[in-house]
């Protein structure tokens, strides 16, 4: 209550300072005049009465000051004065202010942009009620696990096993109905990965959308409703195909329906199945899998057999294929341990009830993992190291900027020594001067922070854009909200303090007497030059660190870009086609793909057309068993190879040379004997010393192939590493093309120019088949090395920035040193030292600074570079040529920066210098 009264009174006078002055004046005048009048009444003569009244009242101004202090206005007034003074000081040296604000803006802007990314990658949680209590059910798979068939993402658990979060639908139902301590279990399945996307036909227009199959209690379990219509309810999820309804995401609603409320009840087709839209999910809700992007549509899980069929039978009754993710909430008062234990028992029972367990088979051991980031975003742990490295690098840049400003401030405080001495002599307290200096620093850092925030805002999408494939959705959505502002404000204030405290402390140590004499000799004591030089050495070593980092990442990118891929990437256009199962059950899907291949091939502008199950360098690959006939099966010997199912002209179109034997040709049809081509790596591994052509082998499913040729090695899924042992088979000789196929089209000119004619050609085959992920092979490769490109671009930028900041630092300190030694240099020259000797003397000092800084930087870089090992390609973290290159560059730039002051020193006229104080 009292505090409130104070705040109200404080605020009242803050906004009306003039009224306060008037009122005080009136009140004091009234007092003095009344007293004078009383004295006159007592018989004192008027002039004498007035004099006495004034004397007895005391110093009017000092009382007024005390009155202002009583209202708590004093520190405010002082702050205003400090800020006004600070602004004036900054405006008086625009060069300094510009450099300081610009370097801070770059430092803070870079930090803000990286923090935005790191926050999204590491900190954000699902926007549902109480995400911290969510637990995702998972288990670790070993060799003897009874579960062998899975559909979904799984991750290495770091201990040599695989972490899986998929369950069979019968097991989920058993888990849900049995007793356990983890609340009601709800289930979901993402349909967004790769070609699992759905084809949506809305108003006779088809496009691909992402989806999530969800159990009937999913929305209730998350505590999430809809902004329009109703959520998916248990009644929608009772029987296979029984709930042809969908809830759409806010983004999809805006993108496709312009936020029209008429969307409720609208009939659309998903994978050619009629579906009614019943609700719109709230903005910010991203489903259970990601924290960043929402699936476009949510459908009942029981729609799986109809909308996203896998094979012939429904997964709802299939105990063998494990594919749904299950989440529950930890109830208050129940420990995670006991919840896990009770659920593990239930899981064992459920597995035994639904599957036959062989004698030595292991049951899936249950673990609970935090569900607050969803399952797919769980894998963002991978982003942890790159994010932390980027954060570390950006904070080095900011540190460098701070060191730079501290250095400039130190030099300035030398020139402001007289001002400080005057203030101290006039009775200003040290605390008051410290506060004044810090106010100026904070003013500077807040200016820099504001500019940095703007830079960060402009650049907020730069990194996510670099990360995302140009043809796909941005995986990470940068949200520019309060946490970002708070972060920018915090680092601005921290850096203001960091670079401000030293120089401010220095300022209070001014010696009044010496300062007032204003002599160059007495005002600069040894300590200041030393502090400045230490700072510059620090700057040079930071710069060295950043340069080494930039060198390593840029060379990694160069190595990746120039790596021999084994095929010709230029002029290739890629797109995928995924014939929906409803219309094209196997093997009809293969027929329609072949029909499309034949339709496209004669189009003008096309050199050749082929297709493959996995596009190259897209981080997808298949593998299968590889058992050459006539060779005994060797236990312990890895008898599998990578596999790609391709079109007849694959090798010609991709320009992969054939070394022995023949390529696929017209003789190889869907009914002819099965043939395969193996690459050199596989030939070397399985057929050392003998010709593989004409040999036969079997795959896991006992299909027998004859090897007709050996191709040169080509990279498959990943640019890193050697091409894996691979065999290629003809897609037309396969039973199914489960996930659709990717077409590779070699064009004569611009690959983009033929998209239109291809699209209409495909639509002439079936108007409901969209081209998916249209891109060039070059774009595909660029996307596969997106993190490396980001690191190279960002660190190279930081390197340049660091060079600029360090050269400003070197220039500043050398100019300061020369200025301080004008007298000495003058004497030297008067005594006969030639200009070249002076030049050398100053340059030698620069060289020492640079050398010490570079040496320290190299030492630290050698220690820290180990953390980068896993992110480099084709070079070691201690790559000598990178280190030497960075050191030479930095040394050259430092010497260049020191040249100006040195040159000025050599031009000093002895007479002028000696007269100079």
Question: Which one among 11, 30, 485, 848 touches other proteins, defined by CB under 8 A?
Answer: 30
Tokens at 69, concatenated: 């202090």
46 forms part of the interface with other proteins (CB under 8 A)? no
60 forms part of the interface with other proteins (CB under 8 A)? yes
Report which of 624, 645, 664, 872 is spatially closest to residue 741, judged by C-alpha positions. Answer: 645
Distance in angstroms (rounded) separating the CA atoms of residues 79 and 85: 10
844 forms part of the interface with other proteins (CB under 8 A)? no
Please report how many Cα atoms fall inside a 13 Å half-sphere around the Cα of residue 304, on the Cβ side: 28
Q: What is the DSSP string of 380-427?
A: GHHHHHHHHHHHHHHHHHHHHHHHHHHHHHHHHHHHTHHHHHHHHHTT
Report which of 850, 806, 895, 798 is spatially closest to residue 547, judged by C-alpha positions. Answer: 798
For 821, 855, 861, the CA distances from 550, given in Å and listed in that order, are 37, 18, 12
Please report how many Cα atoms fall inside a 13 Å half-sphere around the Cα of residue 376, on the Cβ side: 22
2 forms part of the interface with other proteins (CB under 8 A)? yes
Rounded-to-10 torsion of CA 611, 615, 621, 622: -10
Question: Which one among 28, 202, 454, 851 touches other proteins, defined by CB under 8 A?
Answer: 28
23 forms part of the interface with other proteins (CB under 8 A)? yes
Q: 76 or 151: whose CB is closer to other proteins?
A: 76
Q: 70 or 98: whose CB is closer to other proteins?
A: 70
Question: Which one among 45, 59, 481, 753 touches other proteins, defined by CB under 8 A?
Answer: 59
Min CB(813)–other proteins separation in Å: 50
Distance in angstroms (rounded) separating the CA atoms of residues 179 and 346: 7
Is-contact 545 396, C-beta < 8 A?
A: yes
For 29, 65, 164, 610, 893, the CA distances from 383, given in Å and listed in that order, are 72, 59, 19, 35, 35
Is-contact 436 554, C-beta < 8 A?
A: no
Is-contact 572 777, C-beta < 8 A?
A: yes
Q: 28 or 146: whose CB is closer to other proteins?
A: 28
Report which of 129, 113, 131, 130 is spatially closest to residue 121, judged by C-alpha positions. Answer: 113
Q: 62 or 562: whose CB is closer to other proteins?
A: 62
Question: Which one among 22, 45, 48, 69 touches other proteins, defined by CB under 8 A?
Answer: 69
Tokens at 336, concatenated: 């995670």
Question: Which one among 21, 22, 25, 26 touches other proteins, defined by CB under 8 A?
Answer: 26
5 forms part of the interface with other proteins (CB under 8 A)? yes
Tokens at 122, concatenated: 């590491």
Min CB(74)–other proteins separation in Å: 11
Tell me which stretch binds other proteins (CB under 8 A): 22-30, 588-596, 669-677, 694-702.
Answer: 22-30
Question: Which one among 19, 22, 70, 130 touches other proteins, defined by CB under 8 A?
Answer: 70
Q: Is 128 helix (H, G, I), strand (E, B) or coil?
A: coil
75 forms part of the interface with other proteins (CB under 8 A)? no
Is-contact 811 897, C-beta < 8 A?
A: yes
Q: 31 or 381: whose CB is closer to other proteins?
A: 31
229 conformational bin, left if phi > 0, alpha if psi -120 to 50, beta if neither:
left
Tell me which stretch binds other proteins (CB under 8 A): 29-37, 134-142, 804-812, 816-824.
Answer: 29-37
CB atoms within 10 A of CB 821: 22
Q: Is 367 helix (H, G, I), strand (E, B) or coil?
A: strand
Tell me which stretch binds other proteins (CB under 8 A): 34-42, 137-145, 313-321, 514-522.
Answer: 34-42
Strand intervals (E) in 762-900: 772-776
Number of residues that bind other proteins (CB under 8 A): 30
Q: Is 911 helix (H, G, I), strand (E, B) or coil?
A: helix
14 forms part of the interface with other proteins (CB under 8 A)? no
831 forms part of the interface with other proteins (CB under 8 A)? no
Tell me which stretch binds other proteins (CB under 8 A): 63-71, 317-325, 520-528, 757-765.
Answer: 63-71
Tokens at 239, concatenated: 């029987």
Min CB(35)–other proteins separation in Å: 7
66 forms part of the interface with other proteins (CB under 8 A)? yes
Question: Which one among 14, 40, 51, 72 touches other proteins, defined by CB under 8 A?
Answer: 72
Min CB(45)–other proteins separation in Å: 20
Please report how many Cα atoms fall inside a 13 Å half-sphere around the Cα of residue 69, on the Cβ side: 6
884 forms part of the interface with other proteins (CB under 8 A)? no
Tell me which stretch binds other proteins (CB under 8 A): 53-61, 328-336, 627-635, 781-789.
Answer: 53-61
10 forms part of the interface with other proteins (CB under 8 A)? yes
Min CB(5)–other proteins separation in Å: 3
6 forms part of the interface with other proteins (CB under 8 A)? yes
Tell me which stretch binds other proteins (CB under 8 A): 59-67, 353-361, 599-607, 691-699.
Answer: 59-67
35 forms part of the interface with other proteins (CB under 8 A)? yes
Question: Which one among 34, 331, 338, 837 touches other proteins, defined by CB under 8 A?
Answer: 34
Binding site for other proteins (CB under 8 A): 1-2, 5-6, 9-10, 23-24, 26-28, 30-31, 33-35, 37, 56-60, 62-63, 66-67, 69-72
């Amino acid at each position: 209550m009292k505090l409130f009264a104070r705040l109200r009174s404080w605020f009242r006078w803050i906004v009306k300072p003039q009224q306060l002055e008037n009122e005080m004046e009136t009140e004091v005048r009234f007092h003095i005049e009344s007293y004078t009048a009383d004295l006159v009444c007592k018989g004192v003569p008027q002039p004498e009465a007035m004099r006495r009244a004034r004397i007895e009242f005391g110093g009017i101004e000092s009382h007024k000051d005390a009155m202002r202090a009583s209202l708590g206005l004093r520190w405010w007034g002082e702050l205003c004065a400090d800020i006004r003074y600070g602004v004036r000081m900054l405006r008086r040296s625009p060069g300094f202010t510009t450099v300081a604000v610009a370097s801070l803006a770059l430092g803070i802007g870079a930090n803000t942009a990286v923090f935005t990314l790191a926050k999204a990658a590491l900190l954000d949680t699902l926007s549902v009620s109480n995400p911290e209590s969510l637990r995702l059910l998972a288990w670790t798979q070993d060799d003897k696990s009874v579960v062998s068939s899975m559909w979904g993402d799984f991750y290495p658990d770091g201990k040599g096993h695989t972490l899986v979060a998929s369950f069979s639908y019968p097991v989920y139902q058993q888990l849900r109905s049995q007793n356990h301590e983890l609340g009601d279990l709800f289930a979901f399945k993402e349909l967004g990965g790769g070609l699992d996307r759905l084809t949506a036909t809305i108003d006779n227009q088809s496009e691909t959308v992402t989806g999530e199959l969800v159990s009937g209690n999913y929305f209730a379990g998350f505590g999430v409703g809809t902004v329009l219509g109703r959520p998916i309810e248990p009644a929608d999820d009772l029987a296979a195909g029984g709930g042809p309804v969908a809830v759409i995401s806010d983004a999809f609603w805006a993108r496709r329906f312009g936020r029209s409320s008429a969307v409720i009840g609208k009939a659309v087709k998903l994978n050619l199945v009629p579906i009614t839209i019943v609700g719109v999910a709230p903005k910010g809700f991203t489903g259970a899998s990601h924290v960043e992007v929402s699936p476009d549509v949510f459908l009942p899980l029981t729609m799986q057999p109809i909308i996203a069929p896998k094979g012939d039978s429904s997964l709802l009754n299939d105990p063998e294929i494990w594919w749904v993710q299950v989440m529950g909430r930890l109830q208050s008062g129940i420990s995670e341990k006991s919840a896990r234990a009770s659920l593990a028992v239930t899981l064992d029972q459920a597995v035994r009830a639904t599957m036959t367990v062989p004698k030595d088979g292991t049951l899936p051991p249950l673990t609970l993992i935090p569900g607050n980031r969803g399952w797919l975003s769980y894998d963002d742990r991978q982003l942890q190291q790159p994010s932390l490295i980027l954060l570390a690098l950006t904070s080095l840049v900011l540190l460098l900027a701070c060191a730079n400003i501290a250095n400039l401030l130190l030099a300035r405080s030398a020139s402001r020594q007289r001002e400080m001495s005057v203030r101290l002599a006039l009775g200003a307290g040290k605390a008051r001067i410290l506060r004044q200096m810090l106010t100026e620093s904070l003013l500077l850092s807040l200016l820099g922070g504001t500019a940095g925030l703007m830079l960060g805002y402009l650049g907020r999408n730069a990194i996510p854009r670099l990360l995302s494939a140009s043809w796909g959705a941005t995986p990470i959505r940068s949200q520019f909200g309060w946490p970002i502002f708070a972060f920018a404000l915090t680092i601005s204030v921290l850096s203001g303090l960091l670079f401000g405290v030293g120089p401010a402390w220095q300022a209070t140590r001014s010696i009044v007497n010496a300062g007032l004499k204003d002599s160059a000799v007495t005002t600069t004591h040894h300590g200041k030059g030393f502090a400045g030089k230490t700072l510059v050495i620090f700057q040079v070593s930071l710069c060295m660190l950043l340069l080494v980092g930039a060198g390593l990442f840029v060379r990694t990118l160069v190595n990746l870009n120039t790596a021999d891929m084994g095929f010709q990437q230029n002029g290739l256009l890629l797109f995928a086609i995924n014939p929906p199962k409803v219309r094209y059950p196997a093997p009809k899907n293969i027929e329609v793909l072949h029909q499309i291949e034949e339709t496209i091939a004669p189009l003008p502008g096309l050199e050749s057309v082929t297709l493959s199950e996995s596009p190259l360098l897209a981080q997808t690959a298949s593998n299968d068993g590889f058992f050459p006939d006539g060779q005994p099966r060797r236990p312990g010997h890895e008898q599998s190879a990578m596999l790609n199912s391709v079109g007849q002209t694959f090798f010609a179109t991709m320009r992969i040379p054939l070394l022995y034997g023949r390529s696929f040709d017209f003789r190889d049809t869907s009914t002819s004997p099965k043939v395969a081509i193996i690459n050199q790596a596989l030939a070397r591994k399985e057929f050392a010393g003998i010709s593989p052509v004409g040999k036969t082998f079997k795959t896991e499913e006992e299909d027998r192939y004859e090897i007709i040729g050996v191709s040169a090695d080509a990279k498959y899924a990943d640019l890193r590493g050697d091409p894996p042992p691979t065999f290629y088979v003809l897609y037309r000789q396969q039973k199914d093309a489960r996930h659709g196929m990717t077409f590779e089209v070699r064009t004569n000119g611009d690959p983009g120019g033929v998209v239109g004619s291809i699209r209409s050609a495909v639509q002439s085959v079936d108007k409901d088949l969209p081209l998916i992920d249209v891109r060039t092979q070059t774009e595909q490769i660029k996307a596969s090395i997106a993190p490396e490109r980001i690191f190279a671009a960002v660190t190279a930028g930081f390197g340049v920035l660091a060079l600029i900041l360090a050269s400003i630092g070197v220039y500043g300190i050398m100019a300061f040193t020369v200025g301080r030694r004008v007298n000495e240099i003058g004497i030297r020259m008067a005594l006969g030292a030639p200009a070249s000797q002076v030049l050398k003397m100053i340059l030698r000092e620069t060289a020492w600074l640079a050398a010490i800084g570079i040496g320290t930087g190299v030492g630290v870089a050698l220690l820290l570079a180990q953390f980068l090992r896993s992110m480099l390609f084709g070079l070691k973290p201690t790559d000598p040529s990178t280190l030497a290159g960075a050191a030479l560059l930095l040394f050259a730039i430092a010497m260049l920066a020191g040249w100006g002051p040195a040159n000025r020193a050599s031009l000093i006229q002895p007479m002028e210098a000696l007269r100079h104080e």
